[in-house]
């Protein structure tokens, strides 16, 4: 690693990325390539001799960029954004530059201690109860993603309970979630050894805005206990993926408290909003849960991958996940945090640097304003949808997500017009649920094919809905208004065609 060459190439890459961001709106938001587009375009085996950074950058421009769906585009309204910032990207460069292993305290005390500090800072900003902070016996860790947070906490919960009731009862353990919980939980339960038949997905309905109903949970647990099963773990979500529904933590905790279950709160998206006093209520009741996670890589300008997890009693986790080898210990006599015992892998990146840069470069007040500005943009979009009677807002808007669709009534109206037109060939058009879904699906495909925006969908209680998520770092009101114009224009087109 030659430091002069590093500087030269580094400047070129920073220039390249700076231009990328300057021109990001020129690209089709969703990549337009077909599967296997790269095969044949690039050599099938690695070069024997070194190639220049100029040649490599040229290939990135030519072959990689067209295959990108531009996650940082201000015209991406799909999924929940994974946003980053100057601080997030540069923090990552420093992290990669140091490239410490960070698995135990001794492998870089700064990596461990800065992570402790940042997790306490963030915990305080979120007004987490003191027992979640290192300063009061709890603590936090930055995992890569929610799946890792769930694997670690579910494993800890499993081991704790099996120690109490005996290993032979493994097959009786039951995990609870709702039918809106992120699919990571099911995958993790499978990895941890919980059978599919022992995962209870509590059905949600529009009546509770798709939040988990405490009474339904109580009934499910009671029925499992009658059947000789053992309730183990509840994953509640604050801000579900389909509609940003919120499971009522306080009430759910009351239901499960007598069963000694582990409660994890997944606030992957909505957690960031809880730094604003007006949204902090979303995690009311958090003092009663065992663990809480939110993704700073979603709505907190940190860039992938940065899932922050706090636990009130980390020792339960470390008892389960400790991995030891004498070479991993330093010669320090003090009790230290060894993050290898809090996670799946041993080695780990210095992710805390990134988050530390984000917090310092922006400041908490600006991070709050940033979230509030996105909520305001989403409310503008919601208002525009509500004012156009061809559309309906599907579910209560939470934070910066608007779920909407072409309304069945617009299709009924169209059906009436077609029949009144006296066209002999006009047959009765079915406007059943299936047809409404198909029209909305075709509508969204049309919108996305323009390449000017990218919106994704969810299917909730059998209904196909479009999810308009505001949250890109570079997003401004003009992007939201442009997207709405596009949506309206495509509605003019699709509603003028036969169903
Ligand atoms: N949980 C919720 C509620 C989510 O919305 C998502 C993704 O959108 C995830 C978990 C998984 O995200 P990741 O794998 O980035 O942690």
- What does the domain layout of the chain look like in residue ranges? 3-70, 94-364, 365-494
How do the pLDDT tens digits run along the chain, 499 residues long?
999 999 999 999 999 999 999 999 999 999 999 999 999 899 999 999 999 999 999 999 999 999 999 999 999 999 999 999 999 999 999 999 999 998 899 999 999 999 999 999 999 999 999 999 999 999 999 999 999 999 999 999 999 999 999 999 999 999 999 999 999 999 999 999 999 999 999 999 999 999 999 999 999 999 999 999 999 999 999 999 999 999 999 999 999 988 989 999 999 999 999 999 999 999 999 999 999 999 999 999 999 999 999 999 999 999 999 988 777 777 777 889 999 999 999 999 999 999 999 999 999 999 999 999 999 999 999 999 999 999 999 998 999 999 999 998 888 787 776 666 655 444 445 567 888 999 999 999 999 999 999 999 999 999 999 999 999 999 999 999 999 999 999 999 988 887 7
- What is the DSSP track for 47-110? -SS---HHHHHHHIIIIIGGG---TT-TTB-SSS-----HHHHHHHHHHHHH----SSGGG-HH
Distance 268 CA to ligand 1 centre (A): 5
The atom number, within ligand 1, closest to the CA of 146 reads 16
Residue 429: left if φ>0, alpha if ψ -120 to 50, beta else—which one? Answer: beta
The atom number, within ligand 1, closest to the CA of 297 reads 15
Residue 488 sits at φ, ψ, to 5 deg, of: -65, -45
Pocket test for ligand 1, best of 149, 154, 268 (most atoms within 8 A of CB): 268
pTM of the model: 0.94
Going by CA atoms, what residue is nearest to atom 7 of ligand 1?
A: 241
End-to-end CA, the chain: 62
Residue length of the chain: 499
The atom number, within ligand 1, closest to the CA of 80 reads 8
Distance 432 CA to ligand 1 centre (A): 32
**Ligand 1 pocket list (CB less than 6 A):** 80, 145-147, 182, 184, 237, 239-241, 266, 268-269, 295, 307
CA atoms of 289 and 268, how far apart (whole Å): 16
What fold does the segment set 3-70 form as a domain? dopa decarboxylase, N-terminal domain (1.20.1340)
Domain 365-494 classification at class level = alpha beta
Q: What is the ipTM of this complex?
A: 0.98
Torsion of CA 485, 490, 492, 498, to 10 degrees: -170
CA atoms of 31 and 68, how far apart (whole Å): 5
Within 292-341, residue ranges assigned H as helices are 296-299, 314-321
Question: Within 13 A of 151's CA, how many CA atoms are on the CB side?
Answer: 18
The atom number, within ligand 1, closest to the CA of 239 reads 3
The atom number, within ligand 1, closest to the CA of 241 reads 5
Domain covering 94-364: architecture: 3-Layer(aba) Sandwich (3.40)
Task: Look at the block and give the residue holding tokens 């905790």.
Answer: 253
Tokens of 165: 């009731």
Distance 424 CA to ligand 1 centre (A): 51
């Amino acid at each position: 690693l030659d430091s002069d060459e590093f500087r030269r190439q580094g400047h070129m890459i920073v220039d390249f990325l700076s231009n990328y961001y300057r021109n990001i709106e020129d690209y089709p938001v969703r990549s337009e390539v077909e599967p296997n587009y790269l095969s044949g375009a690039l050599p099938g085996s690695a070069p024997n001799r070194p190639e220049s950074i100029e040649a490599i950058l040229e290939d990135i421009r030519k072959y990689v960029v067209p295959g990108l769906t531009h996650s940082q585009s201000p015209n991406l309204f799909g999924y929940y954004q994974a946003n980053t910032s100057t601080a997030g990207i540069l923090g990552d460069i420093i992290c990669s530059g140091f490239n410490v292993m960070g698995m135990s305290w001794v492998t870089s005390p700064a990596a461990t201690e800065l992570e402790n500090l940042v997790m306490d800072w963030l915990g305080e900003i979120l007004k987490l109860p003191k027992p979640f902070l290192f300063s009061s016996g709890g603590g936090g860790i930055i995992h890569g993603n929610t799946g890792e947070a769930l694997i670690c906490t579910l494993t800890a919960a499993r081991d704790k309970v099996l120690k109490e009731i005996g290993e032979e009862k493994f097959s009786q353990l039951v995990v609870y979630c709702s039918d809106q919980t992120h699919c990571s939980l099911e995958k993790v339960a499978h990895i941890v050894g919980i059978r599919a038949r022992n995962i209870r997905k509590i059905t949600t309905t529009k009546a509770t805005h798709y939040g988990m109903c405490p009474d339904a949970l109580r009934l499910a647990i009671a029925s499992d206990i009658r059947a000789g099963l053992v309730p183990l773990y509840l994953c509640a979500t604050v801000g579900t993926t389909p509609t940003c529904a919120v499971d009522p933590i306080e009430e759910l905790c009351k239901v499960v408290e007598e069963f000694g279950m582990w409660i994890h709160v997944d606030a992957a998206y909505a957690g960031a909003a809880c730094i604003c006093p007006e949204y902090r209520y979303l995690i009311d009741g958090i003092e009663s849960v065992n663990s809480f996670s939110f993704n700073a890589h979603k709505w907190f300008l940190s860039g992938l991958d940065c899932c922050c997890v706090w636990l009130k009693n980390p020792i339960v986790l470390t008892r389960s996940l400790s991995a030891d080898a004498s070479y991993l210990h330093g010669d320090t006599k003090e009790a230290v945090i060894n993050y290898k015992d809090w996670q799946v892998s041993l080695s780990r990146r210095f992710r805390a640097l990134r988050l530390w840069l984000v917090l310092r470069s922006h400041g908490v007040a600006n991070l709050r304003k940033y979230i509030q500005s996105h909520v305001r943009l989403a409310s503008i979009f919601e208002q525009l949808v509500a004012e156009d009677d061809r559309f309906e807002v599907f579910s209560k808007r939470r934070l910066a997500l608007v779920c909407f669709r072409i309304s069945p009534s617009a299709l009924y109206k169209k059906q009436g017009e077609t029949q009144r037109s006296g066209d002999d060939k006009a047959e009765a058009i079915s406007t059943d649920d299936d047809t409404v879904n198909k029209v909305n699906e075709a509508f969204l495909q049309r919108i996305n094919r323009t390449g000017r925006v990218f919106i994704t969908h969810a299917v909730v209680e059998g209904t196909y809905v479009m999810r308009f998520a505001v949250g890109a770092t570079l997003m401004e009101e003009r992007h939201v208004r442009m997207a709405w114009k596009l949506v309206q224009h495509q509605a003019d087109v699709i509603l003028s065609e036969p169903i």
